[in-house]
Structure 1
């Protein structure tokens, strides 16, 4: 029995993609997709009837008997969000009653080597198997810095890449990162956010008259795909009528499918867009606080698009792409090909086969 879960609050990531691939394979394995609530049932009509609501009795019961828990997030940090038992204690209870192996599908591609220092290492995580998508990421996860054993890491690609579609419309998406230093501990509104250069940079960009004129002239939609943290501060922004601000109204997959051009500062979400070989522009008006390790990833030499430091240069680049049918330039196509180990639609197949190779856990554990 395998359980698949993205997050307790949402689906649409690698666990759902892999579940769709292997749900009905005749391999003698019962597979269950965990969803946040009943509103997600319709997503799996014609796919599988094995759909379980997170936190339900069925979910907790199956968790005791699952052979594998397959998640796009670090599962034990989310598993008991609906209980009043501390996470660590809940983990011990489940592990005492269950032999489940943890398969970590990742939420994206690791962009910084420092990520392994404070979060993704064997001191804090103990996966039976995790996926990687690039040669550098694979080597990072197998390095002495992480402490993971060779058998725990595989180079397969992310299952969700298989579901990416390319049906570009006259649409540009702006997808900036959120800066953690502007988040209050209780998640409430921060009256000082308006004073930050980060806010001023974004607000100025969204209200630039040349940008708005470009959209009107070329009849393009402009989507501001906002990180959920932005919505706490949304009253600070002056949003002109030419700009559409969205959060969950358009999924990331819809953004990737429909956008002709994507503009970001440092968001790792552009990796999926790059997989489709669609044009990306980096607007680096405000430098990211934590610098990259240039040997691991450099925007100058490894990035998937041109780096722009001014609004004018962004607008000129957008117009250039529109004039050239919004095709990714050959320089960046080559970077995409060299970045990913695979650019096919067989990522789920590779992950599925690797999971099948995992040894069956010991079913004779003495409690």
Structure 2
């Protein structure tokens, strides 16, 4: 398929405006941004570094960057440091004092200025390396570790000082995925800020989605198969409803009937990178579907939501391993595992799946029934993997990161 055919096919599927937005962001803006950075190198390479913390996260104010930001505000660091967000979405109104933001993708002198003068920068997804000596750049990642291989898909710039990893056990495995030598001086085991919520009390985000009381609430977080920006297709499987296991509307009706009969709610959280044109599953009486847009509209954070639910269904996504901190039942859907193109981190991935293994709808409903009945047969296995994958279980990831950066109140 030539360039013109690709363009017309995508326009017919996604619409002209969306296709042009992706082209501008991935092609045009990138070249213009490089020109601005060249100008910035002349203007600000020798300027005094400022007490500014530049933060980027997966979908703004979420994941590790969002959790670290919440900690900085709670502890009053914004009294001393200016905090600048690199945003994918519109800048929120009424940000706290000394906090601002600008568009991550749109080239501008303002963006270039902060890139060259901020002393600290952290990133979760759009990886920021330091522009000059004296800056400290940290890659926090937007998930802990999934079972899917990502070698050759994530490229880390040399200009990073710190790469968070969850444990000494996983450090060499992740180094290989990042094409880093091991051992190295960049990987650091500090704990992940986004896991602090599991240990620090406070309300979760379920209240933002419903005011009803259910016997059990299960969160389903499938990883993405087909990327929203056309750049990745990780699975060859064609999913009728855009999610695993459920084959058609009748399957949804059967599942919803079971949930309703047992006063249970299933929340389906679509991955923010998933192409939403492939997602056909819809809200029903006991099924609630969330995507990147609706979570922003409702102010819902994945980890604050995980805190409130009774169980998680995922697959080879990092979400299943983040949820180990909740110490609640997990199921792994593997019906399309053979169609996954990138392979897995471990030779025997089942050895690292401490939960129900699900290949079909009957097993899917069987897991939910066990949750409703209070059965948790994989508890000890789950805790063993949690201790292997995570060095810390204490809710102080943000504090340790602030100490590493040398921040002072």
TM-score bracket relative to the smaller structure = 0.7 to 0.9
* Cross-structure match for 2:92: 40
- In structure 2, the residue matched to 1:131 is 164
Query: C-alpha separation between the residues in 2 aligned to 1:280 and 1:183?
Result: 27
Could you tell me whether the CA contact under 8 Å between 2:149 and 2:342 is conserved in 1?
no
Instruction: Establish whether residue 66 from structure 1 lines up as the match of residue 118 from structure 2.
Output: yes
1:231 corresponds to: 276
The aligned residue for residue 387 of structure 2 is: 337
Q: How does 1:1-367 map to 2 (within 5 A)?
A: 1-7=51-57, 10-23=60-73, 24=75, 30-34=81-85, 36=87, 40-42=92-94, 45=96, 49-55=97-103, 59-76=111-128, 95=131, 99-111=134-146, 114-120=149-155, 124-141=157-174, 145-147=179-181, 150-164=184-198, 170-180=216-226, 185=230, 201-204=245-248, 207-208=251-252, 210-228=254-272, 229-234=274-279, 236-237=280-281, 240-247=284-291, 248-249=294-295, 250-287=300-337, 288-294=340-346, 298-324=348-374, 329-356=379-406
Aligned partner of residue 92 in structure 2, secondary structure:
helix
211 and 60 in structure 1: CA distance in 2 versus 1, 3 angstrom threshold: same
Cα deviations by residue, 1:166-198 (Å, 9 ceiling, x for unpaired) = 868631122212213x767399xxxx9977697
How far apart, CA to CA, are the structure 2 residues paired with 1:39 and 1:184? 22
Aligned to 1:85: none
- 8 A Cα contact 1:174 1:223, kept in partner: yes
Equivalents in 2 of 1:350, 1:299: separation in Å?
Answer: 31
User: Helix, strand or coil for the counterpart of 1:202?
Assistant: coil
Q: Within 1, Cα distance between the matches of 2:249 and 2:350? A: 22
Deviation at 1:118, TM superposition (A): 4.5
- The CA deviation at 1:29 is 5.6
Change (3 A) 1:125 1:114: farther
Instruction: Deviation per CA, 1:243-275: give whole Å up to 9, x if none.
Output: 221113343134312221211222212222221
Q: Which runs of 5+ in 2 are unaligned?
A: 1-50, 207-213
SS in 1 for 2:169: helix
- 1:217: Cα distance to partner? 1.8
Query: Any idea what the Cα deviations from partners look like across 1:138-161, whole Å, max 9, x if unmatched?
Result: 223556941376221111111111
Tell me if the contact between 2:354 and 2:382 (Cα under 8 Å) persists in the aligned partners: yes
* Structural RMSD (CA): 3.8
Quote how far apart the aligned CAs of 1:75 are. Answer: 3.1
Deviation at residue 323 of structure 1 after TM alignment: 0.8
**Contact 2:91–2:101 at 8 Å: present in 1 too?**
no
TM-score of the superposition, structure 2-length normalised? 0.67
Local SS of the residue matching 2:218: strand
Q: 1:290 to 1:27 in 2, by over 3 A?
A: closer
Distance 1:130 1:266 in 2: 22
State how many pairs are aligned. 326
Name the SS for the 1:54 alignment partner. Answer: strand
Asked if the contact 2:91–2:102 (Cα under 8 Å) also holds between the matched residues in 1, the reply is no
